[in-house]
Amino acid sequence: MRREPSITRRLILALTSAMVIFWLAAIGLGIQVMQHEFDELFDSAQQETAQRLLALIVDERAETDPSGVAILNTPASREYLTYQLRDKVGNVVLRSDDASPEPFDAPLARGFHNNDRQRIYTEATADGALFMQVADRLGNRREAVRESAVTLLLPLIVLIPASIFAIWLILGRALKPIETLRRDIATKDSGNMAAIEGDELPKEIKPIARSVNLLLARLRSALEAEREFTANSAHELRTPIAGALAQTQRLAEELSAGAARTRARQVESSLVDLGRLAEKLLQLSRAEAGIGASDKAADLSKVLEMIVSDYERDSRTKGRVNYVPDAGATLVRYADMDAFGIVMRNLIENALLHGDQDRPAKVSLDKAGTIRVVNGGPAIPEADLAGLKKRFRRGTTSASGSGLGLAIADRIVSQMGGTLELLSPASDETSGFEAKVNLPA
Could you list the residue range(s) of the whole structural domain that residue 257 is in? 188-289
Co-location of 134 and 15 in the same domain? yes
Q: Is 16 helix (H, G, I), strand (E, B) or coil?
A: helix
The amino acid that residue 181 corresponds to is L
Q: Please tell me the pTM assigned to this model.
A: 0.50
Query: Can you give the CATH number for the domain in which 342 is found?
Result: 3.30.565.10
Co-location of 129 and 14 in the same domain? yes
Co-location of 262 and 301 in the same domain? no
Query: Can you give the CATH number for the domain in which 95 is found?
Result: 3.30.450
In a domain, 162, yes or no: no
Q: Is 6 helix (H, G, I), strand (E, B) or coil?
A: coil
Co-location of 202 and 266 in the same domain? yes
The amino acid that residue 28 corresponds to is G
Co-location of 197 and 124 in the same domain? no
In a domain, 237, yes or no: yes
Query: What is the DSSP annotation of 103-166?
Result: PPSS-SSSEEEE-SSEEEEEEE-TTSSEEEEEEEEHHHHHHHHHHHHHHHHTHHHHHHHHHHHH
In order along its 441 residues, the chain shows pLDDT tens digits of 566 777 778 888 888 888 888 888 888 888 888 888 888 888 888 888 888 888 887 776 655 554 444 444 444 445 678 888 888 888 888 888 777 788 888 888 888 888 888 888 888 888 888 888 888 888 888 888 888 888 888 887 888 888 888 888 888 888 888 888 888 888 776 556 778 887 778 888 888 888 888 888 887 787 677 667 766 766 677 778 788 888 888 888 888 888 888 888 888 888 887 777 777 777 777 777 667 777 788 888 898 899 989 888 888 888 888 898 888 888 888 888 888 888 898 889 888 888 888 888 999 998 888 899 999 888 888 777 777 777 766 666 656 666 777 888 888 888 888 888 888 888 888 888 889 998 887
